[in-house]
Amino acid sequence: MMWTPQKMINNKYDRIIALIDMDCFYCQVEEQLNPELKGKPIIVQPLQYDDYGGGGIIALNYVAKARGVKRSMRGDEAKTQCPDLELVRVPVIRGKADLSKYRKAGKQVATVLQTFTPLMARASVDEAYLDLTERVQTRLADMTKGKYALSKSDLKCTFAVGYECIDAYVQFVTNKVTKATDDAEDDSEHLPEEDQESFRKSDIKLLIAASIVNEIRAEVKEQTGFECSAGIAHNKTLAKLVCGLNKPNKQTLLPLKQITDFYRTLPIKKVQGLGGKFGEKICEDLNIQYMAELLKFTREEIQKHCDERNSKWLYNLARGIDMEAVTPRLVSKSISCSKMFPRQNAIADVQTLNHWLHEIAKDVVDRVDEDEFENNRRPKQIVISFTQSINNSDVSSSRTVNFVANNENKIVNDAFEVIKRNTTKFLKPDDPNALFNPIKYLGFNVSKFESLDSKGGIEELFRRSFQKKENQSITETSNVSIEDDSVANNICILNENGNEEPQNSFLSKYNVEFKDDDTDTENSESDSESGALAEATHQMNQNLLRNVLESPRLSTSSTNPEYIDYYVPSEQPKVACSKCGKMVVETEMQVHSDAHLAFELNEKQRTEFQNQLKRTHAPKTPIKKKQKSETKILSNKKKEKTSIEKFLVRKRETSPEPSTSTAIDVEVEKCCECGKTIPITDLFEHLDFHTAKKLQDELMKSETTTNRMNNNSMKKSKNNYNNSLSSSKNKNNTKNKNTKNTAVRNITTFFQSTE
């Protein structure tokens, strides 16, 4: 029963996660490649035009959608529905669909996204999760200090679940903030203390995140020409859920307090991971259909129908909690090439089998080769998969083989051997050319990549931080790490319709456990919001980087700065991280170190580093790269090393002056607003007060300029305006009633920057 509760708790609502999803990505790619298509209704189809009904549709743009074309239509039907529809076919190479241009475009996008945070995980060719927690915190701190203000245009194209327009939501947040300063009453007060701050800051953080995501989407558009939509919430699952609510080229955030309402009409199947058999089973077993209905069940009841892990996950998710971390991953962990041979296309003879093995193997060779140039790695393993039709039913098999050389014939031979060896009856006895059972699917999957640049050292570490990989400990343990009781008692706020269970029993227990277990987290306790801490963290990261560069083995600080390190299993052997001193399970140390590295690099450094990699790796002539690979890698290694050295040196030079004491040691801080000395633990609260004041000031100041802006939402609420501009600038000290009215009146320019 050893957890670090405080860390876990903070991760329930503290994180800000965005899911970026490209709008009808394949269509956008095709439009970019063939600009004549722009503005026209188009669909993208997988194969030749000889398919049933004119072929399927894998993507359609919004023009086509507006014309009534549906994804479920066949090509013919779509063409009938929309006669001037443009049919774009994905190219076919070696008899199979060639998706390389979409992969390439997706990689471009990911490269841009990655510059905003190291905590980016590609979820598919056109989707990526971003953990924006740090960026949001930084901006919130800036805002609080008056260095930054949201303007209306920052929230362009933004929607908030449960609100008609974003202005309505902003108004709500405004009222809440101003109210909180004057009024002791707070709708988060019945939460456990640990959650209250997170809860109160949720709305403003989501808004800030929306402004950041707008910037991200604008950058993606500028750098790649592609448009995307986004979902913004406190965890991946929710971000994903709301992403599709407003499309295209829009973004949707999910306020914490809207989750229950949102769940009421949300079919369970829509949740990622519940769209298949498992979700169906849950729905049937519990006889429910919507997410909100999950709330009725205890964890034990849920667990009757699934394993512990899933029951916890479901139980938490029903309460808006999903602890899965955004695991940084920039490149895929495997590459697969496959082809189906449905029905009469099933492979029935050895010659045909051989032919297709070669075709697909060529694909493998090309992809692996390309990957080697891009990522300087090579797979160690290849899995050969095939499906036979035996007695009219499909039987799938796969076998693993060492990947010793990226060679077409070698791959084919291995595959042929594998198929022969693992087929009880390979050939028909009377016909040595005919397969006994037809083959309906062939596939290769290479994985277990090995970095080609030698050999440990800082280079390797850097590379890993870019290429890698997974952070399994975070992903896996985060789910099981939520203690049942803590969850059960911390979610009452989501049950805004009452009926929540009493929570008192838990609190004491929680506190006890917290204290018992809180051996090494004292310094970072409850400060994760603080701008000062953020600075301290940054400073510490600088120091950490220096440590890595100068004496990697040296153990220094004993703080654990990263909010992603929120879980420490107790029973496995642990060792101290050489960077942060935190005790980490031995087998997870590499991952832990990677996380440090990912965090330590700022965007510029990362892009610079990547560009250098690209430069040194980019072949002069993209064609015929095969036989050069060996020698080229060697020469590159040298170049690259110097590049890295340069990079590191520069990094050192541009590092901020080392501060001998990090802000973590500071107990008090001078308020930048009023000059008062405030205990650091109270600083944020204190600054909140100033924020509210400022907002009020802005409100008044921009009142007149507001009238220039004339949008629908303003027109709508125009009648609510009044002319009480009489208050002085210090009116922030006035009563609730007054501030509320002001906020209502002037909501659209509330966040206007003053500069």
Shortest CA distance to 412 belongs to which of 356, 357, 350, 339? 357
Which CB sits closer to DNA, 397 or 736? 397
Which residue among 7, 15, 65, 96 contacts DNA (CB under 7 A)?
96
What residues from 294 to 313 belong to the interface with DNA (CB under 7 A)? 307, 309-310
| Per-residue contact string for residues 112-131; x = within reach of DNA by CB under 7 A | -----------xxxxx----
Which residue among 115, 249, 258, 338 contacts DNA (CB under 7 A)?
338
Least gap, CB of 367 to DNA (angstroms):
7
Residue 53 binding DNA, by CB under 7 A: yes
Q: Who's near 419: CB < 8 A, 6+ residues apart?
A: 353, 384, 386, 426, 439
Which residue among 278, 290, 436, 721 contacts DNA (CB under 7 A)?
278
Which CB sits closer to DNA, 59 or 216? 59
- Provide the terminal-to-terminal Cα distance of the chain, rounded to the nearest Å: 52
Which CB sits closer to DNA, 278 or 721? 278
- Concatenate the DSSP letters of all residues of 173-233 into one string: HHHHHHHHHH-S--TTTTS-HHHHHHHHHHHHHHHHHHHHHHHHHHHHHHHH---EEEEEE
Which CB sits closer to DNA, 276 or 622? 276
Angle value at C-alpha 220, between 215 and 225, nearest 5 degrees? 130
- Concatenate the DSSP letters of all residues of 562-580 into one string: -TT-----SSS-EEE-TTT
Which residue among 265, 397, 710, 736 contacts DNA (CB under 7 A)?
397
Which residue among 52, 184, 391, 571 contacts DNA (CB under 7 A)?
52
**Binding range to DNA, per CB under 7 A, among 333-341, 493-501, 602-610, 614-622:** 333-341
Which CB sits closer to DNA, 338 or 607? 338
Residue 451 binding DNA, by CB under 7 A: no
**Binding range to DNA, per CB under 7 A, among 291-299, 337-345, 347-355, 586-594:** 337-345
Residue 23 binding DNA, by CB under 7 A: no
What residues from 484 to 513 belong to the interface with DNA (CB under 7 A)? none
Residue 267 binding DNA, by CB under 7 A: no
CA atoms within 13 A on the CB side of 260: 12
| Per-residue contact string for residues 195-234; x = within reach of DNA by CB under 7 A | ----------------------------------------
**Binding range to DNA, per CB under 7 A, among 98-106, 162-170, 245-253, 542-550:** 98-106
**Residue 616 dihedral angles phi and psi, to the nearest 5°:** -70, -25
Q: Who's near 538: CB < 8 A, 6+ residues apart?
A: none
Which CB sits closer to DNA, 309 or 718? 309
442: helix, strand or coil? strand
Residue 581 binding DNA, by CB under 7 A: no
The set of catalytic residues is 127
Q: Using CB under 7 A, count the residues that bind DNA.
A: 60
With b for 16 or more beta-carbon neighbours within 10 A and e for fewer, the 249-282 pattern comes to ebbbbbbbbbbbebbeebebeebeebeeeebeeb
Length of the chain: 755
Which CB sits closer to DNA, 11 or 327? 327
DSSP assigned state of 313: H
Least gap, CB of 532 to DNA (angstroms):
35
Which CB sits closer to DNA, 48 or 712? 48
Least gap, CB of 51 to DNA (angstroms):
7
**Residue 285 dihedral angles phi and psi, to the nearest 5°:** -60, -40
Residue 72 binding DNA, by CB under 7 A: yes
Which CB sits closer to DNA, 344 or 627? 344
735: helix, strand or coil? coil
Which CB sits closer to DNA, 7 or 469? 469
Which CB sits closer to DNA, 125 or 664? 125
Residue 342 binding DNA, by CB under 7 A: yes
Least gap, CB of 656 to DNA (angstroms):
35
Least gap, CB of 71 to DNA (angstroms):
5
Least gap, CB of 753 to DNA (angstroms):
37
Could you give the CA distance from residue 89 to residue 67 in angstroms, rounded to a whole number? 20
Residue 587 binding DNA, by CB under 7 A: no
Residue 461 binding DNA, by CB under 7 A: no
Angle value at C-alpha 40, between 35 and 44, nearest 5 degrees? 80
Residue 333 binding DNA, by CB under 7 A: yes
Residue 276 binding DNA, by CB under 7 A: yes
Angle value at C-alpha 750, between 749 and 751, nearest 5 degrees? 95
Which residue among 213, 337, 494, 687 contacts DNA (CB under 7 A)?
337
Could you give the CA distance from residue 208 to residue 169 in angstroms, rounded to a whole number? 13
**Residue 730 dihedral angles phi and psi, to the nearest 5°:** -90, 20
| Per-residue contact string for residues 399-418; x = within reach of DNA by CB under 7 A | xx------------------
Could you give the CA distance from residue 30 to residue 38 in angstroms, rounded to a whole number? 9
List C-alpha distances in Å: 651 to 127, 602, 606, 655, 656. 31, 10, 11, 6, 10
What residues from 592 to 621 belong to the interface with DNA (CB under 7 A)? none
- Concatenate the DSSP letters of all residues of 670-692 into one string: E-TTT--EEEHHHHHHHHHHHHH
Residue 443 binding DNA, by CB under 7 A: yes
Residue 241 binding DNA, by CB under 7 A: no
CB-based burial label for 633 (10 Å; 0-12, 13-18, 19+)? middle
**Binding range to DNA, per CB under 7 A, among 161-169, 326-334, 403-411, 503-511:** 326-334
585: enclosing H helix or E strand: strand 583-585
Least gap, CB of 284 to DNA (angstroms):
12
Could you give the CA distance from residue 600 to residue 688 in angstroms, rounded to a whole number? 29
Residue 383 binding DNA, by CB under 7 A: yes
**Binding range to DNA, per CB under 7 A, among 130-138, 226-234, 469-477, 678-686:** 469-477
Which CB sits closer to DNA, 76 or 685? 76
Least gap, CB of 338 to DNA (angstroms):
5
Per-residue tokens: 344 = 């009469």
Which residue among 34, 265, 334, 659 contacts DNA (CB under 7 A)?
334
360: helix, strand or coil? helix
Residue 5 binding DNA, by CB under 7 A: no
Residue 277 binding DNA, by CB under 7 A: yes
Least gap, CB of 529 to DNA (angstroms):
29
CB-based burial label for 751 (10 Å; 0-12, 13-18, 19+)? buried
Which CB sits closer to DNA, 191 or 364? 364
Which residue among 77, 476, 500, 535 contacts DNA (CB under 7 A)?
476
Residue 583 and residue 576 in contact, taking contact as beta carbons nearer than 8 Å: yes
With b for 16 or more beta-carbon neighbours within 10 A and e for fewer, the 545-562 pattern comes to bbbbeeeeeeeebebbbb
Query: Can you give the C-alpha Rg of the chain in angstroms?
Result: 28
Residue 572 binding DNA, by CB under 7 A: no
Residue 366 binding DNA, by CB under 7 A: no
With b for 16 or more beta-carbon neighbours within 10 A and e for fewer, the 41-59 pattern comes to bbbbbbeeeeeeebbbbbb
Q: Give CA torsion, residues 265, 270, 273, 279, to 10 deg.
A: 70
Q: Who's near 442: CB < 8 A, 6+ residues apart?
A: 338, 339, 341, 347, 356, 357, 360, 385, 386, 415
Binding site for DNA (CB under 7 A): 46-47, 52-53, 56-58, 71-72, 74, 96-99, 103, 123-127, 240, 271-279, 307, 309-310, 327, 329, 332-340, 342-343, 363, 381, 383, 396-400, 443, 445, 447, 470, 475-476
